[in-house]
Structure 1
Amino acid sequence: MWKERVLLNLGWIDIGYAIRIDEPPSTTEDSTQDAISLYEKWERSNRLPVMFIKTEICASIRDFVDKHTNVKELIKAIDEQFATSDKALARSLIMQISSIKLDH
């Protein structure tokens, strides 16, 4: 649910371009103005969502995902962290249930 709200907010403020489009090649001295403009558009659309997500992420996983500077990689890392947390919670609950003695 958190991810859906973040993606919706990014869409509303029209900075989700870097989520949909792969990073274009870095610019060089020989780059055309179109290539430079495309990279600048992508870079802004990557930087702002990364900052937004990092301010909205729960503190318990912030350190884990803080190293990511690419919005696609950041979202993937968050997804993986929540999947790991869900598996650990499920395992813990199963262990608790299996240790309960039934009263007859």
Structure 2
Amino acid sequence: MDQVLVLVSLHSLASSIPIFNGSNFSDWKEQIQFHLGVLDLDLALRIETPLAITETSSAEERALFKSWERSNRLGIMFMRMCMVNNIKSTLPQNENAKEYLKDVEDRFRSADKSLGGRLMAGLTTMKFDGSRGMHEHVLEMTKLAVRLKTLGMNVDESFLIQFILNSLPAQYGPFL
């Protein structure tokens, strides 16, 4: 019964995670780690593979190995459920969740860096053109700063304010 509930929970939680498409690695990884943690299935991501069980293994060692093995198996399934098919097929088969996540990171971290550059360029060159309200314009710039933060590129609040002020046309001179 518990196994069925875990699998149902895995599927329902997986559907709430943005599907990894190759350009959203940081967001995807953060969500994967959070959800596996909530499900108490992140053991395989947190510790190295425990020693194999032998006849002399203690009850504690057996329990750790069993928990790790379950976390590892379900962790890999969970990650694969949250990827587009063409990415799954290009990744090497790996039976270790921690190594699998590292393989994904090695392959797609550069796409995140490229995205970071595009987001930063958008933030620094965005101009208010009046086609939408001021509120929406400021929110859009704030969203860009938040996305940059998820990529590890923190935009200080004072810089964000300066970018927003710089994006305003001359008629907003009194604010500048």
1:78 CA displacement: 0.6
Aligned equivalents of 2:74, 2:39: Cα separation in 1: 10
**Counterpart check, 1:2 vs 2:23:** no
2:47 alignment partner, one of 18, 21, 26: 21
TM-score by length of 2: 0.46
**Counterpart check, 1:70 vs 2:96:** yes
Query: Is there any run of 5+ residues in structure 2 with no aligned partner, and where?
Result: 1-26, 116-176
Q: Contact 1:61/1:81 (CA < 8 Å) preserved in 2? A: no
SS in 2 for 1:64: coil
Q: Deviations along 1:11-33, whole A, 9 cap, x unmatched?
A: 11111111111111001122122
TM-score by length of 1: 0.75
**Alignment length, in residue pairs?**
90
1:85 CA displacement: 4.5
Highest Rg: 1 or 2?
2
Aligned equivalents of 1:53, 1:47: Cα separation in 2: 10
1:86 CA displacement: 5.5
- What is the aligned partner in structure 1 of residue 63 from structure 2? 37
Q: Contact 1:7/1:16 (CA < 8 Å) preserved in 2? A: yes
Letter in structure 1 aligned against 2:50 = P
Letter in structure 1 aligned against 2:59 = Q
Query: Is there any run of 5+ residues in structure 1 with no aligned partner, and where?
Result: 91-104
- What is the aligned partner in structure 2 of residue 98 from structure 1? none
Aligned equivalents of 1:6, 1:86: Cα separation in 2: 16
Aligned equivalents of 1:47, 1:28: Cα separation in 2: 20
**Counterpart check, 1:55 vs 2:69:** no
Matches within 5 A, 1:84-95: 84-85=110-111
